[in-house]
Each structure stands twice: as C-alpha cells, then as structure tokens.
C-alpha cells in the first residue's frame, strides 16, 4: 500500500464517510443490474430516470459525502503522528474493508432479487395509473373499461423501437418533475406533443388487412319523455372503405390545424405523391392557416380515444338504461339523470351525496339505482383535474363532437373536381334511423346484447 492512502483510511472511519461508501456501492451495483433492461428500448421512462438520473445522483452524492466525513473527522481530532500499517491488525482498515465487502454483497443480493420485479412493476398499467394517482386517475379509470384494458400503457405511449428511447426518457423526466412540483396542467393537455406516430404503435397489433370489414352498429337511445321512449339507429359502417380512403397503400393525407386539432382549415390528399388535391375550408384565411402545424393523418386523427373514452352524459345514460342498471320504467329517468349529471359539484364526494339524495327523493322505491348515475359521474368527471363533460372530445363519428365533419364539410378542392364529402351513405348505410323497432333487426334475428 502506498503511504498517502494511510491518512485516508484513517480519516474515512466515520459514519458520514461510511454512508457515502454505502451510497456509492449501492448506486453502482443497482446501476449495473438495471443497465441492460434500461438500454432495451421498450421500457418505461421511470426506469430510465432511475438508471440515468437517480442512481447517478446517489453515486455522486455518496462520493461527495466521503471527503466531507473525512474533513469533519480531521477537524474533530487532527491526525496522529504515525499511521498504523494497512493490514488486518489495523481496526480502521479492517472496518473499512468489512464494510465495503458487506455493503457490496448485500447490494448484489438485493439488486439481483428485486430489479426484475421492479422493472415488471414499472411497466404495468397499475404503476402508470396509480403511482401518479390523482394526475392519471381519469385516464386510468376510462382505460379499465376499454377494449385495451389488457394493453399496458407503454404499448401505446412508448411502443417498440430504439429511437424513441431517448425521447420517452426525456418526456418521462419532465412528467416526473412536473408531478413532483405540481406544474402539470389540469386537465392534462391533449393531443400529446411528440407522441410516437400512431401507426408505429397501433400497427404493432393491428394491421390494415385485419380491419377492413363492414360492421353493423346498433345504437339504442332514449328520449327525455315520461316513458323514456327507446329508439334505435342501425348503421352499416364501411370500415374498410374508410380506412382505405385515408391510409390505403400510397395514400397520404396532410392537414393544418390548431393545437387541439379541432379546427382544420386546410387538407391535402395525394396518392403516391401524385393526384395532389388541396381542400380549404370555406371561411379559412390563407395567411392564418399557413402558420398552423402541419400533420400527416394517422390512426389517432380518428381514434383519438382508443383507450380513454370519456362518455357523454346522454350516451352514458342510454347505455345504463339499455343495460337495465337504470330501470326504464322510472318516469322521466333519463331527463332526471341528465339534469343531475350536468349540475356542477365541488368534488366527486359532493356529487355522490347530492345525486343520491335527489334520486331517492324522486324515486323513493328505486333509490338503489342512484348508484348507476353516481358511477357515470365518477367514471367521467374529475373536478380536481378540471375534467368535465366534453373536455376530451372523441373524433370517431360526428354526433357528439365534430369528429369526421372537421374535414367532411363539403369543402371544395382546388381542382374543383371533388369535395370532402358529407354524403351520408359514403361512410355508412343508414339501415334504420330513430325507429322504435327496426324491421331490419327482426329480419336478421338480432338480439339485444347485454351491456355493462
Ligand atoms: C390503445 C392505446 C393506449 C393505451 C393502452 C393507453 N393510452 Fe393513453 N392515450 C392514447 C391516445 C391515442 C391518447 C391521445 C393522444 C393524443 O390525442 O395526442 C392518449 C392520451 C393519454 C393522456 C393525455 C390526456 C388525455 O386523456 O388525452 C394520458 C395522461 C394517458 N393517455 C395516460 C395513459 C395511462 C396512464 C395508460 C395506462 C393505464 C394509458 N394512457 C394507456 C392511447 C393509449
Ligand atoms: C398491444 C396490442 C395493441 C395495441 C398496441 C393497440 N391495440 Fe387496439 N386492440 C387490441 C386488442 C387485443 C383489441 C381487441 C379487444 C377486444 O376485442 O375486446 C383491440 C381493439 C381495438 C379497436 C376496436 C375497439 C372496439 O370498440 O371494438 C380499435 C378501434 C383499436 N383497437 C384501435 C387501436 C389504436 C388506434 C391503437 C393505437 C393508438 C391501438 N388500437 C393499439 C390490441 C392493441
Ligand atoms: C378516417 C378515420 C379513421 C382512421 C384514420 C383510422 N380509422 Fe380505424 N375505424 C374508423 C371508423 C369510423 C371505424 C368504425 C368505428 C365504429 O363503428 O365503431 C374504425 C374501426 C377500427 C377498428 C375496429 C374494427 C372492427 O372490426 O370493429 C380497428 C381495430 C381500427 N379501426 C384500427 C385502426 C388503425 C390501427 C388505424 C391506423 C392504421 C385506423 N384504424 C385508422 C375510422 C378510422
Ligand atoms: C383531416 C381531414 C379528414 C378527417 C378528420 C376525416 N377525413 Fe375522410 N377524407 C378526407 C380526405 C382528404 C378524403 C379524400 C378526398 C379525395 O378523394 O380527395 C377523405 C375521404 C373519405 C372517404 C371516401 C370518400 C369517397 O368519396 O370515396 C370516406 C368514406 C371517409 N373519408 C370517411 C371518414 C370518416 C368516417 C371520418 C371520421 C371517422 C373521416 N373520414 C375523417 C379527410 C378527412
Ligand atoms: C365522413 C363520414 C360520415 C358521413 C359523411 C356521415 N356520417 Fe354519420 N357517422 C359516421 C361515423 C364514423 C359514425 C359512428 C359509427 C359508430 O357508431 O361507431 C356515424 C354515426 C351516425 C349515426 C349514429 C349516431 C348514434 O349515436 O346512434 C347517425 C344517425 C348518423 N351517423 C347519421 C348521418 C347522417 C344523417 C349523415 C348525412 C348528413 C351522416 N351520418 C354522414 C360517419 C359519417
């Protein structure tokens, strides 16, 4: 051993330096174990934050503590005239070696046992939805009832591929900082800037050949009258044609829109770079829209809520009445439900108390069905995040929100040859509209599916 290490060994025998040593060894061992998983692409931003931010932080902090402890010890006691030799007869040396050895051993045991579980846990939907409980509760709640309830959040929000690794790390970092310091928007803003292009994430599971069939949709609605009169819409939705028109081979649609993508003044259609047609909204002013963001249309321009669909109060009530959770025999049940759901409350708890008592007053013999109304509220409205009815519009369709009609408003093309059509039968055949018992449904032997 060299002479100059002797005073270091002597001085390092204090609890502050030992704490530093513990920090350095723990951070290093855990870092080694996490590195391979962190470098593989599809992992969670929080894991990256742990590996590239928190652990190095602890490492550097530990490194700093070691000399701090030494300086303090020196101030306290000064140095002896001669240092003991560096072998096991020297208590200071023995303690240091034993401490470093034990800490490393313990860390290896802990890291090898827990990193796998920690990584799996961080990737799980429960972690995303519940760790930032209040912030993501609305998305998590909507997600649980969605067709994608078994797809982990990272399946859509990060997706496979290496080049999104850094991007997701950076945006994840910002997310953690903004949650910690309470800087985030309420509600969380959408569309998400820099979200990975949907075709790369969605098409990991869905591919064009697999979603090309026409489908029959049957929607049951109830009127706001005393009898809650039911009517049905039956549509044959031309899914294949719709998909091909926007994303078929060679087709590219680009558009300019405001930040929310709700106002779309300019659209361009091309096929293999040829047949370029541009469509400008009738009231659009060129000098205003050329400055707007340019975007290539993908899945999310229609399916913007594949996993976090917030209901409208009208459709939510239709669904619960249809599913029998709210008896259609209660006079004016839909009207009453709408009135209660649309009222404003200070919190979910406040809503719960008031909805229950108002419902019980109106329907003393069916007070239990108030639960379904309360559930609709809690599923869709989150006062603490400023999320209310319509905060997050859904772009599929055109009845509750502008949706397809953001572009399909009969605006003419620059060539004059076409418009972006609003012809009803282009997107669906209306097999029945607002009918009490559509003949087509009896003809095909349709049975009412159980909802919820
Ligand atoms: C099937 C794909 C999919 C899954 C699974 C998914 N999301 Fe999303 N998420 C989206 C899309 C699409 C958007 C809207 C993006 C846009 O418009 O920019 C979104 C938006 C969000 C937003 C922004 C606020 C909002 O509501 O628009 C948050 C927060 C969010 N998701 C959290 C989560 C969490 C937490 C999970 C897991 C519990 C999850 N997501 C699972 C596709 C998904
Ligand atoms: C990890 C796989 C996976 C990813 C990624 C994924 N989906 Fe899905 N998606 C599924 C599965 C599985 C179903 C079928 C669920 C069922 O039938 O209940 C589904 C169903 C759907 C449906 C039909 C929903 C319905 O009401 O029947 C749509 C639309 C859809 N996905 C769109 C998307 C979009 C858009 C994205 C990208 C933002 C996406 N999916 C990403 C697996 C995935
Ligand atoms: C122009 C709008 C639009 C775009 C772009 C779009 N879709 Fe769709 N998609 C629809 C409509 C409309 C339906 C029918 C919805 C319904 O009736 O519930 C649908 C249905 C689906 C379904 C369900 C099919 C079924 O048989 O029930 C899946 C899955 C799907 N789309 C996936 C995708 C994926 C993946 C992309 C991107 C590659 C995409 N869509 C792009 C409009 C679009
Ligand atoms: C960003 C603008 C935009 C949005 C949003 C949009 N479309 Fe389109 N759509 C277009 C353009 C552009 C065309 C092609 C017009 C052309 O041929 O030049 C088109 C064509 C179509 C066609 C084929 C029409 C024909 O004449 O053959 C159908 C069907 C269609 N869209 C359905 C939908 C549905 C359903 C939705 C909503 C779920 C939707 N579109 C949303 C821009 C849009
Ligand atoms: C650009 C395509 C497009 C055009 C044009 C269009 N629709 Fe639709 N429409 C849709 C889509 C997509 C849906 C949603 C299908 C579903 O329920 O999943 C829808 C849904 C509907 C519904 C069912 C609403 C419900 O909640 O029961 C009705 C009714 C309807 N459309 C009527 C019309 C009429 C009338 C016209 C002509 C003025 C028209 N649509 C034009 C795409 C279109």
Is 98 a member of any domain? yes
Q: Name which residue sits closest to atom 28 of ligand 2, judged by CA.
A: 306
Is 208 a member of any domain? no
| Ligand 1 proximal residues by C-beta, below 6 Å | 125, 128-129, 136, 139-140, 143, 148, 151, 153, 155-157, 188, 190-192, 195, 300, 304, 306-308, 392
Residues 285 and 429 in one domain: yes
Domain that holds residue 136: 126-195
- Give the number of whichever ligand sits closest to the CA of residue 243: 3
Contact residues for 386 (Cβ-Cβ < 8 A; gap 6+)? 186, 187
Is 246 a member of any domain? yes
Q: What's the confidence (pLDDT) of residue 398?
A: 97
Residues 53 and 107 in one domain: yes
Identify which of 171-180, 212-221, 357-366 has the greatest average pLDDT.
357-366
Residues 380 and 255 in one domain: no
Residues 162 and 266 in one domain: no
Number of the ligand 2 atom closest to the C-alpha atom of 201: 5
Q: What's the confidence (pLDDT) of residue 41?
A: 44
Residues 431 and 347 in one domain: no
- Give the number of whichever ligand sits closest to the CA of residue 220: 5
pLDDT in tens, 337-396: 999 999 999 999 999 999 999 999 999 999 999 999 999 999 999 998 999 999 999 999
Is 448 a member of any domain? no
Residues 301 and 399 in one domain: yes
Residues 228 and 291 in one domain: yes
Q: What is the pTM of this model?
A: 0.84
The model's confidence at residue 160, banded by pLDDT at 50, 70 and 90, is: low
Q: Give the total number of structural domains in the chain.
A: 4
Least confidently predicted of 7-11, 23-27, 218-222, 299-303: 7-11
């Amino acid at each position: 051993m060299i002479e100059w290490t002797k005073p270091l060994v002597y001085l390092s025998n204090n609890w502050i330096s030992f704490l530093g040593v513990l920090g350095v060894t723990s951070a290093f061992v855990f870092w080694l174990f996490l590195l391979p998983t962190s470098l593989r692409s599809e992992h969670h931003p929080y894991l990256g934050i742990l590996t590239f931010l928190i652990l190095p932080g602890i490492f550097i902090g530990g490194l700093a503590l070691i000399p701090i402890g030494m300086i303090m010890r020196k101030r306290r006691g000064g140095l002896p005239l001669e240092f003991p030799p560096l072998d096991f007869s020297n208590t200071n040396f023995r303690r240091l070696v034993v401490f470093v050895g034990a800490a490393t051993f313990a860390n290896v045991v802990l890291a090898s046992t827990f990193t796998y579980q920690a990584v799996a846990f961080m990737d799980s939907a429960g972690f995303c939805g519940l760790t930032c409980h209040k912030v993501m509760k609305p998305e998590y709640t909507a997600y649980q009832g969605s067709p994608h309830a078994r797809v982990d959040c990272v399946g859509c929000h990060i997706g496979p591929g290496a080049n999104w690794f850094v991007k997701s790390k950076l945006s994840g970092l910002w997310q953690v900082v903004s949650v910690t310091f309470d800087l985030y928007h309420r509600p969380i803003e959408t569309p998400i800037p820099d979200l990975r292009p949907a075709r790369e994430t969605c098409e990991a599971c869905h591919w064009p050949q697999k979603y090309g069939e026409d489908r029959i949709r049957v929607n049951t609605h109830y009127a706001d009258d005393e009898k809650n009169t039911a009517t049905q819409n039956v549509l044959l939705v031309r899914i294949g044609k719709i998909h091909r028109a926007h994303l078929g081979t060679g087709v590219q649609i680009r558009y300019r829109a405001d930040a929310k993508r709700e106002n779309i003044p300019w659209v361009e259609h091309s096929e293999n770079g040829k047949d370029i047609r541009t469509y400008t909204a009738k009231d659009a002013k060129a000098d205003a829209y050329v400055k707007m963001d340019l975007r290539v249309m993908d899945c999310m321009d229609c399916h913007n809520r594949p996993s976090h669909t917030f209901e409208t109060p009208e459709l939510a009530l239709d669904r619960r009445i249809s599913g029998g959770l709210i008896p259609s025999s209660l006079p004016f049940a839909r009207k009453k439900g709408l009135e209660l759901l649309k009222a404003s409350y200070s919190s979910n708890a406040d809503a719960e108390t008031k909805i229950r008592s108002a419902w019980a007053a109106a329907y003393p013999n069916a007070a239990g069905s108030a639960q379904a109304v309360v559930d609709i509220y809690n599923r869709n409205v989150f006062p603490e995040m400023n999320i209310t009815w319509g905060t997050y519009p859904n772009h599929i369709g055109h009845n509750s929100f502008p949706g397809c009609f953001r572009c399909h408003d009969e605006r003419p093309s620059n060539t004059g040859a076409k418009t972006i059509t609003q012809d009803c039968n282009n997107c669906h055949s209306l097999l029945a509209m607002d009918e009490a018992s559509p003949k087509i449904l009896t003809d095909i032997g349709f049975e009412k599916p159980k909802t919820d």
